[in-house]
Chain A
Amino acid sequence: MARPRKKPVASPGNDDIGEDKRLELWRKQLEIRHCEQRAYDLFLQNLVKGTSHLSLGQEAIAAGFAAAMRPDDKSFCTYRGHAHTLARGVPMEQMLGELMQRDCGLMRGKGGSMHLTSIDHGVMGSYAIIGAHLPIAVGSAWRAQYLGHDDVTVVFFGDGTTNIGAFHEALNYAVVFKLPVVFVCENNLYMEYTPIGAITAVEHPAADRAGAYGLDKIIIDGNDADEVYRTAQTAFAKARAGEGPSLIECKTYRHSGHSRADPGAYRPKGELERWKEHDPIKVYRARLAEFGIADAVIDDIEQAVKAEVERATAVCKAAPLPPEDILTTDVYADGGWAWRN
Chain B
Amino acid sequence: MAELTYREAVAAGIAQEMERDERVAFLGEDVAAAGGVFKATVGLLERFGPRRVIDTPISEQAILGAAMGAAMTGMRPIAEIMFSDFLAVCWDFPANEFSKARYMSNGQIKLPLVVRCGNGAGSRFGAQHSQSVENWAMAIPGLKVVAPSTPADVKGLLAAAVRDDDPVMFFEHKSLYALKGEVPDGEHVDQLGVARIVRPGKDCTIVALALMVHRALAAAEKLAERGIEAEVIDVRSLVPLDTRTILGSIARTGRLFTVEENPRLCGWGAEIASIAADELFYDLDGPIVRITTPHIPLPAADNLEDIVLPTVDRIVETVTRSMA
Task: Enumerate chain B residues within 8 angstroms of A170, measured Cβ to Cβ.
Answer: 61-62, 65
Contact with B66, one of A108, A117, A124, A142 (Cβ below 8 angstroms)? A142
Question: Which B residues have a C-beta under 8 Å from some C-beta of A?
Answer: 23, 25, 51, 54, 56-57, 59, 61-75, 77, 92-93, 96-97, 101-110, 112, 141-142, 144, 164-166, 193, 239-244, 275
Cα A142 to Cα B66 in complex, Å, equals: 7
Contact with B240, one of A134, A140, A341 (Cβ below 8 angstroms)? A341
Q: How many Å from the CB of A85 to the closest CB on chain B?
A: 12
List, sorted by A's number, 8 A–B pairs whose CB atoms are closer than 8 Å.
A119-B105, A129-B97, A135-B64, A136-B97, A333-B112, A337-B141, A339-B239, A341-B240
Q: How many Å from the CB of A65 to the closest CB on chain B?
A: 18
CB-contacts of A152-174 with B (<8 A) = 153, 165-166, 169-170, 172-173
The size of the chain A interface, using a CB distance under 8 A, is: 51
Task: Enumerate chain A residues within 8 angstroms of B71, measured Cβ to Cβ.
Answer: 139
Contact with B65, one of A108, A119, A125, A132 (Cβ below 8 angstroms)? A132
Cα A127 to Cα B109 in complex, Å, equals: 14
User: A116-137 vs B: 1/0 string, CB under 8 Å?
Assistant: 0111000011010100111111
- Choose among B92, B239, B244 the residue with the greatest number of A CB atoms under 10 Å from its CB: B92
**Closest residue of A by beta carbon distance from B244:** A341
Q: Are B106 and A326 in contact (CB under 8 A)?
A: yes
Q: How many Å from the CB of A126 to the closest CB on chain B?
A: 9
Q: How many Å from the CB of A244 to the closest CB on chain B?
A: 15
Question: Which A residues have a C-beta under 8 Å from some C-beta of B?
Answer: 74, 76, 106-108, 110-111, 115, 117-119, 124-125, 127, 129, 132-144, 146-147, 153, 165-166, 169-170, 172-173, 176-177, 326, 329-333, 335, 337-341
Q: Are A117 and B108 in contact (CB under 8 A)?
A: yes
Residues A111 and B104 in contact in the complex (CB < 8 Å), given A135-B69, A140-B70, A339-B241: yes
Cα A337 to Cα B144 in complex, Å, equals: 11
Q: Are B72 and A140 in contact (CB under 8 A)?
A: yes
Q: Are A173 and B51 in contact (CB under 8 A)?
A: no
Task: Enumerate chain A residues within 8 angstroms of B105, measured Cβ to Cβ.
Answer: 107, 110-111, 115, 117, 119, 125, 330
Task: Enumerate chain A residues within 8 angstroms of B67, measured Cβ to Cβ.
Answer: 139
Q: How many Å from the CB of A290 to the closest CB on chain B?
A: 40
Closest A-B pairs by Cβ, 4 of them: A135-B65, A139-B69, A333-B165, A139-B66
Residues A330 and B66 in contact in the complex (CB < 8 Å), given A129-B92, A146-B25, A172-B59: no
